[in-house]
């Protein structure tokens, strides 16, 4: 918690942040009003809301698990690699791995895991992990050399360097990496669901568009929009505000 904000600069920052906050609520409000309006005219008549919500929640669940695994794995790998003297040597290796088109790996995942929840989750992990890993590695690599020296001089040496210096140093990077990673994660999970037709939102809209009902796809997008908005406002926005205030210099 920031207990006191003394600077005018931070106050200006806070005001700008509140303005952004307000704007996003207004935009979301307009979208919802329009949706309710067209809904009132029966646009969403053919939509099976219960099945749709179920499908979206299933997709969200897969993404959440995938994100959790990717976060732990990505941050752990990045911290250990960034701490080791091999960071510079391993960077290009990660770069190549990251550039492997993830959907090209789907047959491989299906071969080993079959058409299961676990397959989609681990497939999503393989794409969500990269932005997190790279953000943390870059943050460690670009840390000011004086800050590195200060950590060393005042005793954050050896393995202790990871929890007391590298991890808190990487906090803003973990945030931005997570936001980008989750955006990619939606794509991967829904894409994998469309390709493999295993339950979830992807499979749901695939079925729907096969029968020519576009209303269902639009309703589904609205539901996802609401979920993304809620996650953004409840989790990321406060965390970003916190990190922006503290790590601003």
Q: Please report how close the Cβ of residue 141 comes to other proteins at its closest, in angstroms.
A: 13
Handedness of CA 135, 140, 144, 150 (dihedral sign): positive
Q: Please report how close the Cβ of residue 135 comes to other proteins at its closest, in angstroms.
A: 16
Q: Which two tokens stand for residue 243?
A: 């990190």
Query: Closer to other proteins at the Cβ: 36 or 150?
Result: 150
| Alpha carbons 218 and 204: distance in angstroms, whole number | 12
| Alpha carbons 97 and 173: distance in angstroms, whole number | 20
Query: Closer to other proteins at the Cβ: 5 or 221?
Result: 5
Query: Closer to other proteins at the Cβ: 83 or 171?
Result: 171
Q: Please report how close the Cβ of residue 175 comes to other proteins at its closest, in angstroms.
A: 13
| Alpha carbons 230 and 218: distance in angstroms, whole number | 18
Query: Closer to other proteins at the Cβ: 8 or 210?
Result: 8
Query: Closer to other proteins at the Cβ: 175 or 222?
Result: 175
Distance of CA 31 to CAs 27, 56, 218, 231, Å? 6, 19, 12, 17
Q: Please report how close the Cβ of residue 64 comes to other proteins at its closest, in angstroms.
A: 26
43 exposed, middle or buried (CB, 10 Å; 0-12, 13-18, 19+)? middle
| Alpha carbons 203 and 208: distance in angstroms, whole number | 9
Q: Please report how close the Cβ of residue 6 comes to other proteins at its closest, in angstroms.
A: 5
User: How many beta carbons lie within 10 A of that of residue 191, not counting itself?
Assistant: 18
Q: Please report how close the Cβ of residue 157 comes to other proteins at its closest, in angstroms.
A: 8
**Number of alpha carbons in the 13 Å side-chain half-sphere of residue 48:** 11
Query: Closer to other proteins at the Cβ: 9 or 214?
Result: 9
Contact positions toward other proteins, by CB under 8 A?
Answer: 2-7, 10, 144, 146-147, 149-157, 160, 164-165, 168-169, 171, 245-249
């Amino acid at each position: 918690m920031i207990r006191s904000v003394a600077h005018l600069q931070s106050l200006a920052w806070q005001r700008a942040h509140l303005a952004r906050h307000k704007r996003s609520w207004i935009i979301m409000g307009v979208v919802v009003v329009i949706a309710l309006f067209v809904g009132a005219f029966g646009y969403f008549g053919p939509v099976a809301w219960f099945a749709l919500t179920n499908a979206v929640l299933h997709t969200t669940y897969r993404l959440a698990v995938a994100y959790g695994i990717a976060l732990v794995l990505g941050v752990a790998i990045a911290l250990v690699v960034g701490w080791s003297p091999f960071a510079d040597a391993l960077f290009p290796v990660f770069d190549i791995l990251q550039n492997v088109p993830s959907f090209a790996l789907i047959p491989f995942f299906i071969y080993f895991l079959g058409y299961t929840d676990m397959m989609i989750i681990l497939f999503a992990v393989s794409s969500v992990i990269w932005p997190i890993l790279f953000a943390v590695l870059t943050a460690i690599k670009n840390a000011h050399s004086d800050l590195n020296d200060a950590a060393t001089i005042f005793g954050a040496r050896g393995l202790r360097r990871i929890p007391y210096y590298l991890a808190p140093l990487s906090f803003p990077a973990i945030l931005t990496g997570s936001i980008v990673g989750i955006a990619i994660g939606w794509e991967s999970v829904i894409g994998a669901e469309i390709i493999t037709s295993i339950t979830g939102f992807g499979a749901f809209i695939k079925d729907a568009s096969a029968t020519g009902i576009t209303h269902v796809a639009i309703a589904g997008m609205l539901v996802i929009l609401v979920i993304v908005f809620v996650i953004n406002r409840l989790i990321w926005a406060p965390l970003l505000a916190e990190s922006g205030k503290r790590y601003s210099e």
